[in-house]
Amino acid sequence: MKVIALITLLTFSIISAMPNLKMIEEINQMETTWVAGENPRFTNQELSQIKILLGSLETPEHLKLPEKHMLAAENLPDNFDLREAYPKCESLKEVRDQSNCGSCWAFGAVEAMSDRICIASGQTLQTRISAEDLLSCCGACGFGCNGGYPSAAWSYFKGTGLVTGGLYGQNETCLPYAFKPCDHHVIGPYGPCGGDEYPTPKCVKTCNKDYVAHSWSADKHKASSAYSVPRDEQKIMTEIFTHGSVEVSFTVYEDFINYKSGVYQHKKGSALGGHAVKCIGWGVENGTKYWLIVNSWNEGWGDKGLFKILRGKNECGIEGGVVAGIPIIA
């Protein structure tokens, strides 16, 4: 019986792997702008587990941010990377990990907020805004680990403010993330994420005991404004060039999970859900324009945690949901 069970399990694994391997092969045989590759853990993973990570929800009308009135800058460079423009901003060099929680909407926001604080301070403040605080305490932002609204995250930053907080175990910040990093769709150093979505952490309005720099209330950072950026390539570039990282949302399709390098554009598979990430620049690769994006699935996924996606065509809706704000620098 054990032998039969083992054969059945192996057969099921092979069958489960075939569609993914076939998709990778088909993509790499196309005349396209990106390279797909096998992620061993994803090969035998149900798509329902992938959907756990996709927590950017369509924003209700009453939560939408006002569109910023702006002019597009002239003579912007063909290639621009905030990491190169602001080399002293440590947050720009980081790839965070949302773990097994649909908190991408919170991560894309706090990553961009942290970058903007550093840039606005002349690269002096190395602040990390807390994904934990936003995820657990912003009731109007959505449903925590079950998804949320990027626009509401920026409204909360403006109206209520957010404390500092880094990754799991980074207790030099007020409220670090509650969940350990884990390996998304790859075999890596952290260990597998597990099968079930984590529950949303409880809202705790005190800093961790090792953090003595400020009280909870004194540690809050706020923004003077929160807004959406027009769906216009040049205006989005102008916003990034002028103020720093922005949060963007897009639709994830099955083929995106297998991204390895190049400029992604959807080729195969069905839609899985909405995802929010941080955009830190743009460029041109082999004649193809792209946005430079930081994902929140740690550095083991994609191109060291980053990816490029087609620019100027609203690929997968990437240019239709850009939000940001201006932090207050004390």
Tally of CB atoms within 10 A around 103: 33
In the chain, the amino acid numbered 5 is A
Mark whether 298 is an active-site residue: no
Amino acid at site 190: Y
Query: Cα–Cα distance between 208 and 210 in angstroms, integer?
Result: 6
Alpha-helical (H) ranges within the chain are: 2-29, 40-43, 47-51, 82-85, 104-120, 131-137, 150-159, 233-243
**Residue tagged active-site, from 275, 279, 298, 316:** 275
Element at 96 (helix H, strand E): none
Non-local (6+) Cβ contacts of 75 within 8 A are: none
Residues 150/321, Cβ–Cβ less than 8 Å: yes
286 annotated active-site: no
Residue with tokens 């209330």: 217
Half-sphere exposure of 86 (CA within 13 A, CB side): 27
Q: Catalytic residue at 20? A: no
Q: Which two tokens stand for residue 293?
A: 């994006």
Catalytic residue among 89, 101, 104, 137: 104
Q: Which DSSP helix (H) or strand (E) runs through 39? A: none
Structure tokens at 182: 């884990």
Rounded Cα distance between 134 and 141, Å, is 8
Catalytic residue numbers? 104, 275, 295
